[in-house]
Amino acid sequence: MWRRKPARETPQEAAATAARPAAPPATALTIDAMGRKCPIPIIMLADQINAVGLGAVVAVLADDPAAFTDIPAWCRLKSHEHVASYELPQGGWSIHVRRNY
């Protein structure tokens, strides 16, 4: 007996799905570093990440372009997880970090 092949996504449907922003995870702490230049957002994150439980997500709000690349690099260096970075409507980013230890 023959079986019908499952429908495949067209390239347009795949692009539309990829373009939809994922919902940001719930955060245990939000650090407002808007208007602060690097390395201040990283210093603020390093100082406050131990205030949340293991596996909790910290959101760092920053508008300095260096923070957009430096915070994920800090996560790799310190073995924390860079969950994602979300663009904010007023400018800047919400950079989400999960505490691993």
Which residues are catalytically annotated? Answer: 38
- How many DSSP H helices and E strands does the chain contain? 3, 4
Q: Contact at 8 Å (CB) between 58 and 52?
A: yes
List of residues 6+ apart from 18 with CB closer than 8 A: none
Are 33 and 93 in contact, with CB atoms under 8 Å apart?
A: no
Query: What are residue 95's DSSP bridge partners?
Result: 60, 85
